Structure 1
């Protein structure tokens, strides 16, 4: 007799999503515990600030590299490392939740390599947009541009699926519209800075890159333009 194995109630997360989540969560746990004096001694209070200075993306540093044509590795790494440093626990929590939800969807439909491409590509493209389009002296930190890259991938899959069923494809952009609307509303009451520029750029990268990552994606995009 064949042994019957019940399917798990919750599909396991792709390993690459778990690794990325831990890369966000573990530093935040250390920063939070250190700020409360529970680990690291007196120096732990400054761990977050030191991490921002060492790993966050800086538009001013980017301008300096552009002007001199010099590209030190330690500063190029900032295009990636800023995604794993956050302003506080709440910011890291929301970034982690988005990563788990969107990373699972993208990983199951497009594969784990696509998750890495969209996550880190969104981070790099978001930082580039922040550095090129703005003259903002504030640090760019947080995993949102990277996770918005995953939202772009999810939106492309939805856009493709809705088109195949003959349904309204604009519905694929409901999630990004809702999130950007929340940021706009939040900005009315609080100074949220210009990070939304990097977030939106990350989404644009994710959506565009997915046309290449999804088999037949480019052909479907071209077909839409030909119909127009």
Structure 2
């Protein structure tokens, strides 16, 4: 007698599937980096492909001077405004893109399972946009802002908020929730001192703050849970 499919026990999956938004962001970052890396090595695109990365940075990176110009002139051309959402997908080197992908997969999976796939996407772009905006307003760097890290720091902000609420509810020291951000910023400071300081930390910190503040609205039941925690104090 045939056994119905629904009665057949299924082996547990060794790895839980990633949220679709994390896969989408990962593929976008990886695809751009693969093309730029292959072009830099002359494997695709011919001799002109060696300059693809610089051209991508010039065309899609976020530039503080462009923001100041748009604000002064009161005009917002689409090809310039789009830099707010295109710069996270261009990196300065393969190692930077690879590190961003690893962090995205780890944090995106965790946040996506708790808050949902759409929350990952919203957090990533909200943090990227606000990170670029604050970076453009407070710095005058000539070199464009590039890389996915402001958006990834936004996911760290959501992770920090969730951990903060959990520690607060259990009576533990809630400031432990900020350890990850502190460690990462410390590493970034060391690299800045060793290889030359950069103001990209402004965008990263802004992204983290944006993710932390947006978390109660993005996590299902997050706002009500936050209010309950605060009322108990």
TM-score by length of 1: 0.95
CA RMSD after TM alignment: 1.6
Determine helix, strand or coil for the equivalent of 2:192.
Answer: helix
Q: Which structure 2 residue ranges, 5 or more long, are not aligned?
A: none
1:211 corresponds to: 216
- Matches of 1:50 and 1:114 in 2, distance apart? 32
Among candidates 84, 89, 104, match of residue 89 of structure 2: 84
TM superposition shift of 1:214? 2.1
2:131 corresponds to: 126
Among candidates 162, 167, 176, match of residue 167 of structure 2: 162
Alignment of 1:1-228 (within 5 A): 2-221=7-226
Report the CA distance shift for 1:5/1:216 in structure 2 as closer, same or farther (over 3 A): closer
Report the CA distance shift for 1:83/1:113 in structure 2 as closer, same or farther (over 3 A): same
- Matches of 2:201 and 2:213 in 1, distance apart? 18
Write out per-residue CA displacement over residues 112-164 of structure 1, whole angstroms, 9 at most, x where no aligned residue. 11001110001001001101111222210000001111111111111112222
Report the CA distance shift for 1:226/1:3 in structure 2 as closer, same or farther (over 3 A): closer
- Matches of 2:99 and 2:209 in 1, distance apart? 20
Write out per-residue CA displacement over residues 60-90 of structure 1, whole angstroms, 9 at most, x where no aligned residue. 0000000011011111110010000000001
- Matches of 1:76 and 1:222 in 2, distance apart? 37
- Matches of 2:209 and 2:226 in 1, distance apart? 14
Report the CA distance shift for 1:225/1:137 in structure 2 as closer, same or farther (over 3 A): farther
- Matches of 1:201 and 1:130 in 2, distance apart? 8
TM-score by length of 2: 0.93
Report the CA distance shift for 1:6/1:224 in structure 2 as closer, same or farther (over 3 A): closer
TM superposition shift of 1:226? 6.4
Q: Which structure 1 residue ranges, 5 or more long, are not aligned?
A: none
| Residues matched between the structures, number | 228
- Matches of 2:141 and 2:43 in 1, distance apart? 35
- Matches of 2:187 and 2:160 in 1, distance apart? 18
Determine helix, strand or coil for the equivalent of 1:137.
Answer: coil
- Matches of 2:192 and 2:224 in 1, distance apart? 39
